[in-house]
A and B are shown apart, each in its own frame.
Chain A
Amino acid sequence: MRAAIFITTFLASTVEVIEMVIIVVGVGATRGWRSTIVGTVAGFAVLAVLVVGLGAALVAIPIGILRLVIGTLLLVFGIQWYRKGVMRVAARGFAGIAGIPLTEEAEWTGPGMDWTAFALAFKGVLLEGLEIAIIVVSFGVAAKELGLAAVGGLSALVLIGGLGLVLRGPVRRIPRSVLQLIVGVMLTTFGTFWALEGLGVNWPAGDGAIPGLLVWYLGTALLYIGLERRRLLGFQARA
């Protein structure tokens, strides 16, 4: 269970950090680094306050209600990633997002603070980071492993964020679609398990139902990928 929590929060954070890094590096490279870094730091500061506040608020809620609410939230979010992951893996396989062009902004040459760079970096960090914060906090609190979940999220942030700042290319080649599918399967699995536990449902084999759900969702994802690929091949043959 502990390993699954670390892996899920690490991979979920990796998916979002890739986008965050691309936004920050893109803005920094085109509009200058000073305002971009200030915007990034401000975004992280707001995120840190949100994580601490959200974590403190959630631990005060009884575990049954918490698992129902968090499980439902993870389930609906997990299904979205599950569906997106199936579609993207079927269409692009293990390709990263290297082929997707960046939004180029005009270079900033004026004096003082570049508020456009600040706002772009701040918004990018906050909006991408908000999903990480919600997944990490909800996952950690529901499993009573908030520290471990936070380590998973922070590890991804430091590792992928650092890699992205030093070497821009490799981060864009990480197979984000595959990661999204894996995380979608894991979030759907834990979301289903916790939401039903919150409703008072007794799972056959208790926690042992988790690997069963994982196999069920992963197996059907592979089946759907196969069907989507066949449809895409047929579509290309007709074109």
Chain B
Amino acid sequence: MERIWSWLSAFGGFWYGFIFGDDWTLAATAAVGLLLTAVLNARGFVAWWLVPVLVIVAVGISLRRASRAQSRVAA
């Protein structure tokens, strides 16, 4: 039973790592970007640019946050 639980938690951990990785805000931004794109597209707006821009902004913010955390640990 313990072994099964260990495999199940490893499998769950794999999916969590696969989707959310080190920073869950990236996956959340992608989801919000896709949702907004769907809404804008349904209303007839040109929206293909939104996800590529949001992804880059989210990665930039995430890198900055990681840098600050690293600096705090080192200080």
Give the total of B residues in contact with A, Cβ under 8 Å. Answer: 31
A127 at the interface (CB under 8 A from B): yes
Q: Which chain A positions have C-beta within 8 A of B63?
A: 83, 86-87, 224, 227-228
B52 touches A79 (CB 8 A): no
B26 touches A217 (CB 8 A): no
Interface of B, secondary structure class, is helix
Which one of A19-27, A101-109, A156-164, A200-208 is at the B interface? Answer: A200-208
Residues 27-39 of chain B, each 1 if its beta carbon lies under 8 Å from chain A, else 0: 1001100100110
Q: Which chain B positions have C-beta within 8 A of A84?
A: 21-22
Q: What range describes how many residues of A lie at the interface?
A: 35 or more
B62 touches A83 (CB 8 A): yes
CB distance from B15 to the nearest CB of A (A): 9
Given known A-B contacts A83-B62, A201-B37, A220 and B30 have beta carbons under 8 A apart: no
Instruction: Using CB atoms and an 8 Å cutoff, list the residues of chain A in contact with chain B.
Output: 72-73, 75-77, 79-80, 82-84, 86-87, 123, 127, 130-131, 134, 188, 192, 195-196, 199-204, 209, 213, 216-217, 220, 224, 227-228, 231, 235, 239
Cα A227 to Cα B55 in complex, Å, equals 17
Q: Which chain A positions have C-beta within 8 A of B62?
A: 83
Sample of 5 further A-B pairs with CB below 8 A, known A72-B31, A72-B34, A77-B21 = A76-B19, A79-B30, A80-B26, A192-B55, A213-B52
Q: Which chain B positions have C-beta within 8 A of A82?
A: 59
Contact count A vs B, C-beta below 8 Å: 90
B26 touches A192 (CB 8 A): no
List the 7 shortest-distance A-B pairs measured between CB atoms, nearest first: A80-B21, A76-B27, A79-B26, A220-B56, A199-B38, A76-B30, A201-B48
Q: Which chain B positions have C-beta within 8 A of A231?
A: 67
B59 touches A127 (CB 8 A): no
A216 touches B60 (CB 8 A): no
Closest to A216 in B: B52
Cα A227 to Cα B63 in complex, Å, equals 10
Given known A-B contacts A77-B18, A130-B14, A196-B37, A209 and B58 have beta carbons under 8 A apart: no
Given known A-B contacts A192-B51, A216-B52, A199 and B41 have beta carbons under 8 A apart: yes
Q: Which chain B positions have C-beta within 8 A of A200?
A: 41
Closest to A131 in B: B18
